Homo-oligomer: A and B are copies of this chain.
Amino acid sequence: MLIVGELINSSRRPIAEAIAARDKAYLQELAVKQVEAGAHIIDVNCGTSLAQEAAVMAWLVDIVQEVVDVPLCIDTPSPAAMEAGLAHHKGKAMINSITAERTRWEEVLPLVQRYKPSVIALLMDDGGMPATVEDRLRVAGRLVPALVDAGVPEEDIYLDPLVKPLGVGSTCGVEVLESTRILRQKYPQVHLICGLSNISYGLPERRLLNRAFMVMCLSVGMDAFILDPLDRPLMSLLAAAKAVAGKDDYCLEYIAAARAGKLVV
């Protein structure tokens, strides 16, 4: 199970302000806290920096890697910012993301081949966001072989089935769950990841919906999540979900977490 800590993202106002002010201490503390809480990778996103995004991404990668040893996920729609982040990153990074959209594929693939990061691949193409399970399977059927042909090992591929809010349609969760179940069987070596919080966009008490969705995703074979690792009830439920889903032999991790007082009931 791989946890990508999502908090250093400039779409969140305090982060945008900290980045604008180059508040290194604040951002470093947030990185350290996420790792201490169980994040295996720290997402860095400074999309609101606009024209300076590449320079800011390079700075962000530098200051976060000063304080944590885990890889960073260079999260940006800008190929220039992605390249700046990758060039400054020490060790194997992760990127968010490549897609099957023609332009995006052509811009990002050379960076993947040059820097060899783990790759989050969104299951969308020039037809836009996937509307059905079949859309997702079709795009995966193009992306996985194309990435492998380009030299990316299956273990470095993280397919993201793209979560749409339940407010858009009551079956948005089920579509992702069914896609995940099939993709897990079809690509046993490939990782499956999603951003949990999209499911609850626009609805009340969002964290409850995120938690329920996380448990269901895990049970059908999703093995990586982009989430807030400081949400202790979420992380506690994740530990329980792993045990219940048979992914924690003899419940040893769960029992250890309980003994360490890490579980919030």
Do A258 and B205 form a contact, CB below 8 Å, given A166-B251, A237-B211?
yes
> Separation in Å of the A259 CB from the closest CB of chain B?
7
Q: At the interface, yes or no: A8 with Cβ under 8 Å from chain B?
A: no
> Separation in Å of the A236 CB from the closest CB of chain B?
6
Size category of the A interface is 35 or more
Cβ–Cβ contact A204 & B246, under 8 A = no
- Whole-angstrom CA separation of A212 from B215 in the bound complex: 6
Measured between beta carbons, the chain B residues less than 8 angstroms from A219 are 177, 215-216, 219-220
Closest to A241 in B: B212
Measured between beta carbons, the chain B residues less than 8 angstroms from A213 are 244
> Separation in Å of the A54 CB from the closest CB of chain B?
38
Measured between beta carbons, the chain B residues less than 8 angstroms from A220 are 219
Q: At the interface, yes or no: A143 with Cβ under 8 Å from chain B?
A: no
Q: How many copies does the complex hold?
A: 2
Closest to A206 in B: B265
Q: At the interface, yes or no: A223 with Cβ under 8 Å from chain B?
A: no
- Whole-angstrom CA separation of A166 from B240 in the bound complex: 11
Query: What is the 8 Å Cβ interface bit string for chain A, positions 153-186, against chain B (1 contact, 0 not)?
Result: 0000000000000110011011001000000000
Give the contacts of A192-213 with B (CB-CB under 8 A): 199, 203-205, 207-209, 211-213
Query: What is the 8 Å Cβ interface bit string for chain A, positions 22-56, against chain B (1 contact, 0 not)?
Result: 00000000000000000000000000000000000
Query: What is the 8 Å Cβ interface bit string for chain A, positions 225-249, against chain B (1 contact, 0 not)?
Result: 0000000010011011101111011
